[in-house]
Structure 1
């Protein structure tokens, strides 16, 4: 199975890390935020949207600028389905390795590409690492960083079939779930989402956007 974070440990660590970063939300409501990184992509995004619709789920898609430029019709479909869009910078690379100037430029360029599709309030740094300078730069653009408490990435391997059960067991109210689309080997994310949402609905948990959870 791809790498994974699990909720209880991440909540504990998050309380020790400084910075204005949203990891989870304390809430008595039976909701969690469902998020997707690295799209859009023809191999994954068109399959995710009907699954989300069938479950009545809403999600936040953290999109890569170069893929937004390549597939604007998929971004339009995400927005038309009532989902939220977030900034995942221009390329699929660790944001923490970028110079300050390059980070600011990539963040602003991605924001400009996303602007026609709705308000952008959130960003997620590539590979999940961040620095205070990145948070300051994003804040100047009106963006807040979002990570999460439960995460996994598909690798196109048989063990991917275990992802839904492995992460689903740790989701609880206020969790932020991070899944990955955006490449051909990640096609299995569609089935994982179907399984995950069915299992969590059985526990009374509903998927919402990051903004809805943060409210």
Structure 2
């Protein structure tokens, strides 16, 4: 298992995996970026939910493909839509911490970061164990990692990142991502407002085309033997 920063949360971006895996070994930190495994699985993750526009439909797609995912949820949206968080957990998916608001976590003062992280975990814990957090916009600092570790949380970024924007280019997202998904990858997709509803179709297209099985982050990490 290795660590490195990743970002570009609102853009379609495909990492050149061999190069970025090599670079990640040179960057210190306890951030999970991918997992070394030969098992035919990858971790599927969604940021910025829950959302009434997309979460119920995503759950239907995941059920149809017998896929599991980790949802990195925003605290204020968890407060607004607790029934959606319950539906995620009841379907066997994993909930994780994406802090209280959809904002750049690296710009939040440390005291507020700690409070927001703890409050989001508190909101999520009724729905299952909370082991992971993902900083807003995928940017982290050493003090953020220290604060999270004190709360028994570990940062998870990803190998491949994409964001639907409600534009014609959304139709090309799945095709762009497919060549980069390999065993141990962590795929980051984004739900949220109406402009991101296309994530449902993107997810369906990806899961229809991939021979790898989608699992939660915890399942993927368990396969690393670490």
| TM class, shorter-length | over 0.9
CA distance in 1, matches of 2:141, 2:11: 25
- Backbone CA RMSD of aligned residues: 1.1
Equivalent residue, structure 2, for 1:206: 213
Q: How does 1:123-202 map to 2 (within 5 A)?
A: 123-201=133-211
**What is the number of residues matched between the two proteins?**
212
Give CA-to-partner distance per residue, 1:108-134, whole Å, 9 cap, x none.
Answer: 010111011010000000000001110
Partner of residue 81, structure 2: 71
Change (3 A) 1:45 1:99: same
Unaligned runs of at least 5 residues, structure 1: none
Distance 2:62 2:71 in 1: 12
1:124-148 deviation line (CA, Å, top 9, x unaligned): 0000000111001100111000000
Deviation at 1:17, TM superposition (A): 1.8
Structure 1 stretches of at least 4 aligned residues deviating more than 6 Å after TM superposition: none
Q: Is the 8 A contact 1:7 1:175 kept in 2?
A: no
Matched, 1:19 2:29: yes
Give the whole-Å Cα distance in 2 for the aligned partners of 1:12 and 1:95: 26
Please tell me whether residue 52 in structure 1 is matched to residue 62 in structure 2.
yes
CA distance in 1, matches of 2:185, 2:104: 24
Distance 1:170 1:145 in 2: 22
TM-score (norm 1): 0.96
CA contact (8 A) 1:149 1:176 kept: yes
Q: Give the aligned partner of residue 112 of structure 1.
A: 122
1:103 partnered with 2:113: yes
Partner of 1:42: 52
When normalised by structure 2's length, the TM-score is 0.92
- Aligned residue for 1:5? 14
